[in-house]
Amino acid sequence: MNSSQTILLVEDDPDDQNLFISALRGIKNTPAFELVTNGKEAIEWLYRALLPPRIVFLDIHMPVMSGMECLLILAKDPWMNTVPIIMLSADVGHREKARIAGANGFIKKSCSVAVLREEIAHILFKFNGRS
């Protein structure tokens, strides 16, 4: 698989995974996606990839390695500096911390597939030229 056309979703919660995947599948011409369940797995996946993904959606609260810990590592890596990293959290209080740490965007988790789909579609359109 051409990882530069892949979306990487880093999310530990099965319900949030299913909601995100349902929202993503409802977007026309959406690239393939890969799923990992914590920051450590994300870093391992990213460093095994021959090309960086198109975009990373990264949950903030996860076991093993949190999204913020992962973000701090990735933000310092020149190989990753062309990949938009979008943080996911139910708590909008994390938005500014994520921006300061190097995130390119933030999505507040929603229970609505339609709302989440709109947010994801906006992010994909915004960063379409970057990969």
Give me the helices (H) in 31-131, please. Answer: 39-48, 67-75, 95-101, 113-126
**Confidence (pTM):** 0.90
- Domains belonging to the chain, first-starting first, are 3-126 (3.40.50.2300)
Tens of pLDDT, residues 75-113 = 998 888 889 999 999 888 889 999 998 999 999 988 899
The CA–CA distances, whole Å, from 84 to 8, 63, 102, 114, 123 equal 11, 23, 10, 22, 9
The pLDDT score that the predictor gives to residue 2 is: 44
